[in-house]
Amino acid sequence: MTNKPNTSTTMSHLKKLSDILDKQSEIVDSALGKTKNTKKINSPLMYKPHGACGTVTGSAHFVHHVYSDKYIAVDCGLLQGEGDMASNAVSQLPIHPKKLHAIFLTHAHTDHVGNMLQWLRAGFRGKIYCTDITANLTLVSLTDSLRHQDREEDDELDKMLELLPTLFECPDRVSNANYGRLYQVEGAPGLLYSFTPTSHLVGCVALRLFTTKFGQKQCDIVFSGDIGPVIDAKTHGGLAPARQYPNSVSGVVVLESTYGDKAPRDPSTLLSKNRLSALAKVIKDSVTKSPDARLIIPAFSLGRTTDILTDLFLVLTTKRNLTGLPKDEIAYINIDSKLSKDYAEELSKAYVAAKASGEYSWLNPDSELVKIGGVEFLERFLSAKTEPYQEYPTPYGNVVINWGAERPEKGLNIYIAGSGTTLHGNVCREIMENAKNPNATVVFCGYSSDKSLGGDLRRILSAKPEDRYDMPPLSFKLSVKKNSSPKYWQEPADAIKINIADLTQFYSGHADSNSLKHYISNIKKLPNSIPLHLILVHGSNAARFNFSNELKTFEGVNEVHCPSSNYPWFDVYNKVWEFPDLGIFRSSMTVFPVDDKGKSPTLSQVTKAVVYTLVKKLGIPKPEILSGENGKSFLITDSLNTFNHKVEILEVKEGEFCIQADTQLGTCQTNDEFKLRCFPWETISRSLDETSDLGYHPVGKDKEALALKNLIYDNDRKFPIITITKLGTDNTCAKFLSKSLLLNNGQVFLVTMLGRNHSRDLGLDVRAGEGVFYDETPGSKPVVFSIINPLDSAHALIKCLNRIEDTRRNTLNKK
């Protein structure tokens, strides 16, 4: 008979062996010059969301490598044309730039690098990790940005610009760009990183931060950056190669969601032949209107301009028969953008650069342009500074490319300029100059918000001609001297004759929802069984909300988070947010119940009805009911004892009862969990008092918006107000707040899109995706929260509501 081992003795031996191995490891580390961090580490990586949490610009994220106690930023983007511009200030950052060990840049668009000089001025002096072309493009971008700075700041910012090149650390300058390979982050022992191209832009990469050495737990986090749609570069035929996919051992991915709420694009739009045919049709429609047609193309200076230029050349040469343009007529393409010229010069170098293997680092060898002209032709084609005026006589017809402001008055003229968003720049002036020209066409090939000049133009031209008389004019804010009154260039809506064409689906640099799903399903998970925790950023609140609902049922996805910048740190290893304990939430409601015969029940009957309803709804054992001096009370808790409700029922007077609940909420991880733990007032109210009103008030008309404003600023108001904006047709947040938190202690207003416009006209700062809590004291600072996740401001909301509830209870006790 074999004796069973003594478990305690075995564990003791293992503990001693572990201690010996740890000691040996410390000796080895010491010999190698490595100092072991002695503090207890629960998770090697912590993540903090900050920028682009509900917006599509202003990307900035933070990571804490706990073992080395180093803080790292991922992107330092500028918020542009949306949200609160104050968030661009260094003072708003969760980690001051002086404390940052390093910055990683995913790519060189302004919404990812635009705050770099301000961070340098604030004291950042660490390494900046990115691809070589991203470093070069970032220098171009920030040099250009200095032209728009106040003159008194130029000297200091110039010094920062001179410092910047000395900080770049680009692994592909020496390693032949082995994408997916792990490199050491200097000064942070055990922290590694890798880059993986995403096809959004030349040099654009996803970032993986990985740690698994020197006693650290194996852990990683992936930042997708901006993801392009190109999966098959051969059929796409553009200049850039297809996207690649990173590895992950933890399954935590910070994922962009710019087009998460858009209808999936037709896969055929990613085929070269279809894209070129669509562009040819736009040209043909314009030429048919007039031989002196004008095509105005708002294009992002970086990437989109060169993509459009490449396709225009292909269409005007090899596919001229589809354009309706005579073979003997010269086609002029004018690029009126110094910044585009500077970018093109850098892109030219990047496209022709080859690795030691002979493969190109950033060029798609199946590019249509390369096929007909070769790499040497491409290099000349994009040499905007060395050859700004280029004539191309071809067998199909002649094309002139002019990287300058001059353009012909006769014949087809194609004008490309920024900004691509039509918020500012030369292209806006061009649109205004041609607003009344029926022979001009604006060709949209990228994102422009509803608040932009392009958005206003789409709104006017989508209306019936007879309805345009009452519409606001097409308006463009002109640049004026500092401290001067703003001036506007305006054209009456009914006078607008310019045409529009939309090719955005062919040229969008962002993946749609289906393409994003394809991306996450192709992330190389090690092991394959790990579930994904997706953190959605870089998208409007509506986009994130809709996309998160899709992803919750997507295979392999465990949890989807839509954080705001108010969210705490995220423990990457344990996959939990470090939310504070919400403590006790005190709430109450007065009810006037009647029985089937119209009579008021007794206190005991009301108490039994409340208990019965709670037991049935929550599926818990019946609690013990205690009789006190003022009424009845009982305690209920959930099955896991994570939260509880202490309930007291008082008879205020005959037929009037007050139900008071003290809810121990504990720590919640999700909005759904927060909602679940709140006392189920709606259910109780419905079972006792059908006359109780726990609804919200809609705000969609101008009169309703005015009434809301007057109520908010009424000095005699003694109750709180919450305003909520709609996410499409969704009203769940308004229902939850009115039926679970505010009850009949205050009022909830649901503001529709139309109501939002009316409210803004009246001076109310009502933003999409946000809620605002105004407490019972008019004029006090309101609490702003995300309507996707009220949990981000739950602590502040509960603090205010508890104060209001305490006042109410004190008043009740005095009676």
Same domain, 389 and 298: yes
Q: Is the pLDDT of residue 678 over 70?
A: yes
Total domains present in the chain:
4
Task: Pull the structure tokens for residue 451.
Answer: 């608040």
Picking from 321, 269, 284, 267, the residue whose alpha carbon sits closest to that of residue 501 is 284
Local confidence band at 33 (pLDDT 50, 70, 90 cut-offs): very low
**CB of 400 closer than 8 Å to CB of 330:** yes
Predicted pLDDT of residue 11? 39
Query: Three-state DSSP class for 482?
Result: coil
pLDDT in tens, 472-501: 999 998 876 666 778 889 999 999 999 999
**Which residues lie closer than 8 Å to 799 by C-beta, 6 or more apart?**
none
Residue with tokens 């896969």: 267
Last residue of a domain, one of 688, 720, 746: 688
Residue 138 domain flag: yes
Quick check: 569 pLDDT over 70? Answer: yes
Q: How do 644-653 and 656-664 pair as beta strands?
A: antiparallel
**Cβ within 8 Å of residue 380, ≥6 positions away:** 387, 390
Tokens of 790: 């009220």
715 pLDDT above the threshold of 60: yes
Residue with tokens 């009949």: 744
Q: How far is CA 437 from CA 105, 282, 409, in A?
A: 43, 16, 14
Q: Quick one: 569 and 591 in the same domain?
A: no
- Give the integer Cα–Cα distance in Å for 579 and 569: 8
Instruction: Provide the angle, in degrees to the nearest 10, between the axes of the packed helices 338-352 and 368-381.
Output: 120
Whole-number Å distance between alpha carbons of 655 and 599: 8
Place of tokens 């028969």: 321
Query: Could you say which of 539, 560, 577 is where a domain stops?
Result: 577
Q: Residue 103's beta-bridge partner residues?
A: 73, 128
**Residue with more model confidence, 598 or 661:** 661
Tell me if 142 sits within 8 A of 164, measured CB to CB. Answer: yes
12: helix, strand or coil: helix
Percent of the chain with pLDDT over 90: 56
Torsion (CA) 243, 249, 252, 254 in degrees, nearest 10: -30
CATH of the domain at 313: 3.40.50.10890
Q: What is the mean pLDDT of residues 45-52?
A: 95
Is residue 8 one of the residues assigned to a domain?
Answer: no
Compute the distance between CA of residue 44 and CA of residue 50 in angstroms, rounded to an integer.
20
Q: How many residues does the chain have?
A: 815
Do 143 and 285 lie in one domain? The reply is: no
Do 303 and 108 meet the contact criterion of CB atoms below 8 Å apart?
no
Any domain includes 174: yes
Residue 8 predicted with pLDDT over 80: no
Do 113 and 141 touch, CB atoms closer than 8 A? yes
pLDDT range class, residue 178, cuts 50, 70, 90:
confident
Residues 186 and 215 grouped into a single domain: yes
CATH code for the domain in which residue 169 is found: 3.60.15.10
Q: Are residues 111 and 198 in the same domain?
A: yes
Examine the pLDDT at 90 and tell me if it is beyond 80: yes
Three-state secondary structure call for residue 706: helix
Question: Average pLDDT in the 60-77 region?
Answer: 96
User: Which residues are within 8 A (CB) of 168 and not within 5 positions of it... i.e. 6 or more apart?
Assistant: 127, 128, 130, 135
Distance of alpha carbon 444 from alpha carbon 462, whole angstroms: 15
Q: If you compute the radius of gyration of the chain from its CA atoms, what whole number of angstroms results? A: 31
Q: What is the mean pLDDT of residues 57-83?
A: 91
CB-based contacts of 11: which residues, under 8 Å, 6+ apart? none
Q: What is the pLDDT of residue 147?
A: 77
Residue 701 falls in which region: left (phi positive, over 0), alpha (psi -120 to 50) or beta: beta
Provide, rounded to the nearest whole percent, the portion of the chain with pLDDT above 70. Answer: 92
Task: Answer whether residue 396 shows pLDDT above 70.
Answer: yes
Q: DSSP states of 605-635 as a string?
A: HHHHHHHHHHHHHHT-PPPPPEE-SSEEEEE
Question: Residue 591's domain is classified under what CATH number?
Answer: 3.30.160.110
- Clarify whether residues 516 and 503 are in a common domain: no
CATH number, position 750: 3.40.30.10
| First CA to last CA distance, the chain | 80
- Which pLDDT band, with edges at 50, 70 and 90, does 150 fall under? low
Same domain membership, residue 713 and residue 798 = yes
Tell whether 495 and 527 lie within a shared domain: no
In this structure, the answer to whether residues 667 and 760 fall within a common structural domain is no
Is residue 669's pLDDT more than 60? yes
CA quadruple 774, 776, 781, 784: dihedral sign:
negative
For the chain, give the mean pLDDT: 87
457 phi and psi angles, rounded to 5 deg:
-65, -45
Q: Across the beta sheet with 440-444, what order do the strands follow?
A: 389-392, 399-402, 331-335, 413-417, 294-298, 440-444, 499-502
**Amino acid of residue 479:** S
**pLDDT at residue 519 above 50?**
yes
- 26 domain-assigned: no
Q: Which amino acid is at 728?
A: G
Grade residue 288 by pLDDT with cuts at 50, 70 and 90. Answer: very high
Q: What is the DSSP letter of 167?
A: G
**210-214, 303-307, 525-529, 601-605 — which is least confidently predicted?**
210-214
- Whether residue 561 is predicted with pLDDT greater than 90 in this model: the reply is yes
With beta carbons less than 8 A apart as the criterion, state whether 543 and 551 touch.
no
Flag whether 16 is in a domain.
no
Neighbouring residues of 708: CB distance < 8 A, sequence distance ≥ 6: 699, 723, 749, 751, 759, 764
> Last residue of a domain, which of 656, 688, 720?
688
What local confidence, expressed as pLDDT, does residue 137 receive? 96
Whether residue 250 is found in the same domain as residue 381:
no
Strands 252-256 and 532-537 turn out to be parallel
pLDDT at 113: 96
Distance CA 234, CA 468 (A): 46
What tokens appear for 211 in the block? 């740690």
Rounded CA-CA distance 411/716 in Å is: 68
For 7, 116, 713, 775, the CA distances from 748, given in Å and listed in that order, are 61, 41, 15, 12
Residue 435 in domain: yes
328: its two tokens: 């003997």
Q: Are residues 494 and 594 in the same domain?
A: no
In this prediction, residue 214 carries a pLDDT of: 59
Lowest mean pLDDT across 37-46, 252-261, 328-337, 410-419: 37-46
Q: What is the pLDDT of residue 815?
A: 63
How far is the C-alpha of 658 from the C-alpha of 651, rounded, in Å? 6
CA distances from 563 to 255, 337, 650 (A): 12, 37, 40
Task: Find which of 77-81, 110-114, 154-158 is predicted with most confidence, using mean pLDDT.
Answer: 110-114
**Does the pLDDT value for residue 294 go beyond 80?**
yes
Identify which of 259, 791, 254, 752 has the alpha carbon closest to the alpha carbon of residue 542: 259
pLDDT score at 5? 37
Q: Both 212 and 287 in a single domain?
A: no
Distance, CA of 238 to CA of 311 (rounded, Å): 8
Which pLDDT belongs to residue 385?
A: 87
CA angle 502, 506, 511 (to 5 degrees): 115
User: Is the residue at 333 inside a domain?
Assistant: yes
pLDDT at 105 over 50: yes
In terms of residue numbers, what domain contains 286?
267-507
Q: Which residues face 414 on adjacent strands? A: 295, 333
Q: Is the pLDDT of residue 190 over 70?
A: yes
Does a structural domain hold residue 281?
yes
**Quick one: pLDDT at residue 457?**
95
pLDDT at 175 (0 to 100): 67
pLDDT score at 152 = 58
Task: Tell me what the mean pLDDT of segment 11-29 comes to.
Answer: 40
